[in-house]
Amino acid sequence: MQEWSNNACLGYIRAALSRKGWDEEQIREVVRAVYYEFDFKTIEEAAQLYERSFD
């Protein structure tokens, strides 16, 4: 398994939103919001939130 990287995560987000046609200001807003969450959620908590989104 590859090592976790906040910057890689943010890069994936930027790439996906750009591919979907989001403008730069919208992308920055989402990236800032995700960056903020890095301080308040563990990797495990974030994974659980993502996995529960499919229920």
pLDDT by residue, tens only, the chain of 55 residues: 678 899 999 999 999 999 999 999 999 999 999 999 999 999 999 999 999 998 8
Cα–Cα distance, 42 to 48 (Å, whole number): 10
What is the crossing angle of helices 6-19 and 24-37, to 10°? Answer: 150
| Cα-only R_g, the chain | 12
pLDDT at 4: 82
Give the residue among 4, 9, 3, 5 at the shortest CA–CA distance from 31: 9
Tell me what pLDDT residue 1 has. Answer: 65
3-state helix, strand, coil in the chain (%, to 5): 70, 0, 30
Residue type, 48: Q
